[in-house]
Structure 1
């Protein structure tokens, strides 16, 4: 956990480039906070965690804690936010677990080792902005862009290692998540940040107009990326590389234009 928090959610060794979070629950017996490191999967506005316990006979302690009290705290390394833990049941659990096995066959291996049904839990963020060490509008913008860059890097890596034939369902969800997130971010900029910057710095009106027009182009690129991963084609990787480069270039230009004034 120290390495996780010291490096904004990134760790080395076998978990390099893994999607990790810190989940803090309230002890069912002690009432004290307990924090554990878990792998996770983006799934729309929520994230999914799995109570595999390595295929052991008992559910992990963190699972028992959230059953007693579903109010939890999630740390991604960049942001911290309160969430509600929702245990998936019946057909929904089975459908999601099958999707996770497609993404990583290890989950299926764990299930074969135990007679218990391995739980899948959705962590649903509560209303309100996440907290982080922002300090200023500039820090907030850099944090958000860092999160997008990380996800784009992971998507590209997953495409490169999976190949078009083995492109998993979870990769498609990951991509859709980052696309939706970036669109939401741009909507917030267009409606709030950009007008505020122009009000304080009228000399930036032309630059902001250019950035705003680029939002329309980014929406097109995001739609292309979504289409690529939902209907894989033989030359998927070069196309993903092209779109990821365009998106990263857009983030770079936005930072160069805005950070000095934020």
Structure 2
């Protein structure tokens, strides 16, 4: 049974494509739906998460409670779960991290948010860390047409870069988890732009030759953004915030141009 605060937060999440206000405004949140270990009914929890390459991580802190959260017991009984990131949803498999891997990942998350460490100090149980791995199959579900899907992907990149900028600006250091956040979005942009350059752009020019000039501009912007991504992936510049600001400015301008020029044809 959800308490009123959690129910309201989930409703706000669903109504705003994963965005919420208040103390969680600059947080990555997801809805984790598990199957009740005793009831067999669907149970949904709203949790913070961390990117980790091709998976995301959640922490079973339960606010430092002496007992594991219900959702953790549920996924132990049935690791097949559903993930809703607000803009995308997909089936996943929950993998509980064990031993050295759990300890190393937890230390990384404590570096990113010291609150996890305080929760661990306040309880005798080992706070679990769970990796949520997307199940093989079709791409994560967006909503609507191909044009809608492209806008959704663009929105996801805009949102993630905004969160990364906030994290860099407020942390003052580029910790291990923040580096992973940066590398994950850089890799995602690289794959997305490669797909457009090798698939979408040639197909549109073939069907609509009048788009050749604007697509040439978009491809040039892809090349310029690729240079920024390569620099950010190296993370050698001490002033990473300037690099991220430049990437955000160029990417937003590119995405705006792409949507204005191409969406009517999709």
Structure 2 match to 1:177: 184
- Residues 80, 221 of structure 1: alpha-carbon distance in 2 compared, 3 angstrom cutoff: same
TM-score in terms of structure 1 length:
0.93
Is contact 1:9–1:20 with CA below 8 Å preserved after alignment?
yes
Deviation (angstroms), 1:241? 1.5
Distance 1:9 1:256 in 2: 25
Structure 2 portions without partners, runs of 5+: 1-9
Q: How far off its partner does 1:214 sit? A: 2.6
* Count of residues paired in the alignment: 256
Change (3 A) 1:251 1:130: same
| 2:247 counterpart of 1:243 | yes
Distance 1:49 1:28 in 2: 19
Contact 2:59 2:130 in 1 (8 A): yes
What is aligned with 1:40? 49
Question: TM-score of the superposition, structure 2-length normalised?
Answer: 0.92
Cα deviation, 1:45-101, whole Å, max 9, x if unaligned, reads 100000011111111110011111111000000011011101111110011000000
CA–CA separation in structure 1 for the residues paired with 2:244 and 2:202:
32
What residue ranges of structure 1 are gaps of 5+ in the alignment? none
- Say whether 1:158 aligns with 2:179: no
Q: Say whether the 8 Å CA contact 1:51–1:118 is kept in structure 2.
A: yes
Q: How does 1:1-262 map to 2 (within 5 A)?
A: 1-127=10-136, 128-133=138-143, 135-163=144-172, 166-228=173-235, 231=236, 233=238, 235-262=239-266
* Contact in 1 for aligned 2:26/2:166 (Cα 8 Å): no
1-side partners of 2:243 and 2:181: how far apart?
A: 17
Deviations 1:149-200 (A, max 9, x none): 011111111111112xx32221111111110111111122123222222232
Aligned-partner Cα distance in 2 for 1:243–1:29: 48
Aligned-partner Cα distance in 2 for 1:96–1:54: 19
Residue 106 of structure 2 aligns to a residue in which SS? helix
Q: Higher mean Cα deviation, 194-203 or 89-98?
A: 194-203
Does structure 2 retain, via aligned residues, the 8 Å contact 1:87–1:119?
yes
Q: Secondary structure at the match of 1:34?
A: strand
How far, CA to CA, are the matches of 2:188 and 2:240 in structure 1? 22
* Residues 228, 243 of structure 2: 8 Å contact kept: no
For 1:100 and 1:172, locate their aligned partners in 2 and report how far apart those are by CA, in whole Å: 12
Secondary structure of the corresponding residue to residue 152 of structure 1: helix
CA separation of 1:213 and 1:22: change in aligned 2, threshold 3 A: same
Distance 1:42 1:169 in 2: 12
